[in-house]
């Protein structure tokens, strides 16, 4: 059984834009590169031709991947809740530091630690999922067990 992938409206738009670019602009560029490479002659030792074919394969794979994501993903909106779920923003305190950290809980495709977006499939995301304000979760890390207290859910 396939797992459900969750994406936000913004990610859906970004994927649609990328798909449009790949299908129109990128495909055309690759076909032009293939034509130019074929004009050079012998295809068996033609590096430009082989590179263009490789680019074509990667582009078609990405198109198929995006198509699949858009067809199968569930779009979630940012919202408030009493429990941690996809689309909520949580504030946690790491037991050892006492510094508050704010994370957005997103689907795996959108995880981005540079913007504090953690996946519901990440160790911390999984531990927090379904919890409510005041709950304490423990996460096994290479350095040992780390505890986080859930301060707020938005």
pLDDT tens digit string along 6-25? Answer: 888 888 999 999 999 999 99
pLDDT, residue 2, reads 59
pLDDT band at residue 124 under the 50/70/90 scheme: very high
Q: Residue 153 pairs with which residues in a beta bridge?
A: 90
Per-residue pLDDT, 97: 83
| Phi-psi category of residue 129: left, alpha or beta, with phi > 0 → left and psi -120 to 50 → alpha | beta
Torsion from C-alpha of 123, 126, 132, 134, nearest 10 degrees: -10
What confidence category does residue 136 fall into, taking pLDDT thresholds of 50, 70 and 90? very high
According to the model, what pLDDT value does residue 74 have? 87
Structure tokens that stand for 87 in this block: 């689309």
CB atoms within 10 A of CB 45: 9
- pLDDT at residue number 1: 52
Q: Return d(Cα 95, Cα 152) in angstroms, integer.
A: 15
Using a 10 angstrom Cβ sphere, with 0-12 exposed, 13-18 middle and 19 or more buried, the burial of residue 147 is: middle
Amino acid 61: pLDDT: 97
pLDDT value at residue 20: 97
Q: Which residues contact 79 (CB under 8 A, 6 or more apart)?
A: 87, 88
Q: Which residue has the tokens 């993903």?
A: 73
Q: pLDDT-derived band of residue 109, with 50, 70 and 90 as boundaries?
A: confident
pLDDT score, position 91: 93
The answer to whether 90 and 103 are in contact (CB under 8 A) is: yes
Task: Write the pLDDT tens digit of every residue in 31-88.
Answer: 999 999 888 888 888 888 999 999 999 999 999 999 998 998 888 877 777 899 988 9
Domains in the chain: ranges and CATH: 6-75 (1.10.287.180), 78-153 (3.10.50.30)
């Amino acid at each position: 059984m396939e797992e459900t992938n969750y994406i936000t409206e913004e990610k859906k738009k970004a994927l649609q834009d990328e798909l449009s670019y790949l299908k129109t602009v990128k495909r055309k560029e690759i076909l032009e590169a293939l034509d130019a490479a074929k004009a050079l002659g012998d295809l068996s030792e033609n590096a430009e031709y082989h590179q263009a074919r490789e680019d074509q394969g990667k582009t078609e794979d990405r198109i198929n991947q995006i198509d699949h994501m858009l067809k199968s993903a569930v779009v979630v909106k940012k919202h408030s809740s009493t429990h941690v779920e996809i689309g909520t923003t949580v504030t946690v305190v790491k037991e050892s530091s006492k510094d508050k950290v704010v994370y957005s809980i997103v689907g795996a495709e959108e995880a981005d630690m540079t913007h504090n977006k953690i996946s519901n499939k990440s160790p911390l995301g999984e531990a927090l999922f379904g919890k409510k304000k005041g709950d304490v979760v423990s996460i096994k890390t290479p350095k040992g067990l780390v505890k986080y207290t859930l301060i707020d859910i938005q």
